[in-house]
Amino acid sequence: MNRIFTILVMIGVPLTVVASLLHWSSIVMFIICSVTIIAISSFMGRATESIAIVSGPRIGGLLNATFGNAVELIISIFALQAGLIGVVLASLTGSVLGNLLLVGGLSFFLGGIKFKRQKFSIHDARHNSGLLVFAVFVAFVIPEIFSLSMNETKTLQLSVGISIIMIVLYLAGLFFKLVTHRGVYAHTEEDVPTKHEEPEWSKKKALIILLLSTLAVAYVSENLVHTFEAVGEQFGWSELFIGVIIVAIVGNAAEHSSAILMAMKNKMDVAVEIAIGSTLQIAMFVAPVLVIISLFMPTAMPLVFTIPELVAMATAVLLTISVSNDGESNWFEGLTLLAAYLIMGIGFYLL
């Protein structure tokens, strides 16, 4: 399979360049870019696994979330330049739903089929639960409620203030987990047989591959974004559906594949760290950074989502907390998360 992905990358990236220069049809471009991104994401997954073996699950999960979300950050910046505020907010919503329900669901489901009972750090799960509640209920819902009684200027000022606070708290959270309380909460994995693993690549090589893969994914994703309007008209997809489902899945393809790969190898600490850690990074870092960057764009972006988006994100957070707070997972819990994602996907498609 790795050889197939290698071939797809070697063909897909040059083909994307040719298709862009020769202005091939949007449908063909959409297919080429989508397949190429999936292939490149496999390299990011393998590189992340190598780093996780050397540095531990927290560092591995954090790096994967960071490199994966860099793609979406780049896509969103281009969208902001074009004034597509609705698409950017919808893609942020889709990232939260995709990471918690789709990635988390597939990880629990596929890992649970292979291993009946999988464990991960209950302390990390409870720590992340609090941050998820803050990120969605406090930082996303409050601007929506307060903005009902504010004009556009005050709403933007509120959004900027909240964004700064979220970035500071996110950085403090990293300092807490990686510095002051690193190793304080030991992972309990008595039922999981431990064995020494050799990484596929050295730490330096894996980091270089991660960086190059991110640059390649960013280029291909930028070309993919230009096809969304034509593809949406062709298939009858709304702007909201494209942002919530298509952009989010494509922009987060790297961590999607990585988390599932880790779960199927019974490395649930890494899988959960990728799925939930990426969600927190989107909500507490990427979204606030985009708000601040938008101040220098033609149209500023307030941190105000639509009611369906807020309800969907809040539901995803509550469901994820309820199934993960015990530090264990199984295939049925994964199927429940996937069912919720499909229900929301149908709803956004029909809006």
Helix (H) or strand (E) holding 118: strand 118-119
* Most confident by average pLDDT, 84-88, 120-124, 163-167, 262-266: 163-167
DSSP annotation string for 258-295: HHHHHHHTT-HHHHHHHHHHHHHHIIIIIHHHHHHHHT
CA 13 to chain centre: 22
Q: What confidence tens digit (pLDDT) does each residue in 223-272 have? A: 887 887 888 888 888 878 888 888 777 767 666 777 888 888 888 888 88
Average pLDDT across the chain, whole number: 84
Query: Closest Cα to residue 177, out of 222, 133, 123, 230?
Result: 123
67 or 147: which carries more pLDDT confidence? Answer: 147
Task: Tell me how many helices (H) and strands (E) the chain has.
Answer: 17, 2
Partners of 329 in the beta sheet? 118
**Burial of 190: CB neighbours in 10 Å, binned 0-12, 13-18, 19+:** exposed
Token reading at 216: 């390649």
pLDDT confidence band for 293 (50 / 70 / 90): very high
pLDDT of residue 195: 55
Closest CA to 85 of 196, 222, 215, 240: 240
pLDDT in tens, 183-234: 665 554 444 444 566 788 888 888 898 889 888 888 887 788 788 788 888 8
Q: Tell me the backbone φ, ψ of residue 328, rounded to 5 degrees.
A: -135, 155
Lookup: tokens for 222? 């930028």
**Is there a contact between 247 and 87 (Cβ–Cβ < 8 Å)?**
yes
φ/ψ (deg, to 5) at 329: -145, 160
| CA–CA separation, 240 and 123 (whole Å) | 36
| Tokens at 209, concatenated | 């591959």
For residue range 99-152, list pLDDT tens digits in order. Answer: 999 999 999 999 999 888 888 888 888 888 888 998 888 888 888 888 888 888
Predicted structure pTM score: 0.81
Closest CA to 108 of 335, 340, 341: 335
Mean pLDDT, range 12-41, rounded to an integer: 89
> What would the two tokens of residue 345 be?
């996907």
